[in-house]
């Protein structure tokens, strides 16, 4: 079936084809007298082509602007860091034998900078990999699906064997990039989109261990 990957995205998010980025690409195509589309999957396919062009750009300045965009979209603002985070740092200092440490404005600023830097670097790991030739075997729609799902994850809960949900006040870095696990997941999701049988090994304990509880797996 044509556009099976884009059809899969539409099934998972039926508002995606009307989002601003997708609509803007149709407007751009209209202005340049390129063929435009109305069907959701075809509109998403046009957008995927745009993402391929922009994320594979040779100019490092363009790539830096792309990463800055993702930072703005997904990295916590310093003013949104909850007070409980700083209180927790005080508690940790007491437990480590440092006594009652006062969180001064300077210390608060330094702690906030660390939170932001950690989130930016872990997010960049995903952007760098998914934009590199190392991930050329993944279709763009699957890259989008994996990245979008990852940005919704917080810290890994060892007891629940799953990641928590990321919110505006989440201070945790983004999940580590496990290339092997991601390759397995993308392969499974491609087969699912094509309505092919997913290998039994995907449901094996070994595979589940490898995924480390990624809740966005292939559902």
CA–chain centroid gap for 210, Å, is 19
Beta-carbon count within 10 A of 21 CB: 10
- Please check whether residue 50 is in contact with residue 22, taking contact to mean a CB–CB distance below 8 angstroms: no
For residue 94, the 8-state DSSP code is H
d(CA 156, CA 158): 6
Enter the pTM of the model.
0.88
Write down the pLDDT at residue 121. 97
Query: Poorest-confidence range of 29-33, 94-98, 107-111, 117-121?
Result: 94-98
Query: Poorest-confidence range of 104-108, 155-159, 195-199?
Result: 195-199
pLDDT band at 219 (very low <50, low <70, confident <90, very high): very low
pLDDT, tens only, 114-140: 999 999 999 999 999 999 999 999 999
Quickly count helices (H) and strands (E) in the chain. 9, 2
């Amino acid at each position: 079936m044509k556009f099976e990957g884009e059809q899969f995205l539409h099934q998972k998010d039926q508002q995606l084809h009307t989002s601003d980025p997708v609509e803007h690409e149709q407007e751009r195509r209209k202005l340049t007298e390129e063929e435009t589309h109305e069907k959701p999957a075809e509109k998403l396919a046009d957008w995927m082509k745009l993402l391929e062009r922009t994320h594979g750009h040779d100019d490092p300045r363009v790539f830096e602007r792309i990463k800055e965009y993702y930072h703005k979209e997904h990295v916590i603002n310093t003013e949104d860091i909850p007070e409980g985070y700083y209180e927790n740092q005080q508690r940790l200092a007491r437990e480590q034998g440092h006594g009652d440490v006062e969180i001064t404005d300077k210390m608060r600023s330094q702690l906030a900078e660390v939170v932001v830097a950690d989130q930016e670097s872990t997010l960049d790991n995903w952007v760098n990999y998914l934009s590199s030739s190392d991930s050329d075997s993944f279709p763009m729609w699957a890259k989008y699906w994996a990245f979008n799902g990852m940005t919704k994850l917080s810290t890994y809960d060892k007891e629940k064997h799953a990641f928590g949900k990321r919110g505006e006040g989440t201070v945790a870095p983004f999940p580590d990039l496990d290339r092997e696990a991601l390759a397995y997941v993308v392969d499974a999701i491609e087969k699912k989109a094509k309505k092919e049988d997913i290998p039994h090994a995907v449901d094996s304990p070994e595979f589940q261990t490898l995924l480390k509880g990624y809740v966005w797996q292939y559902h």
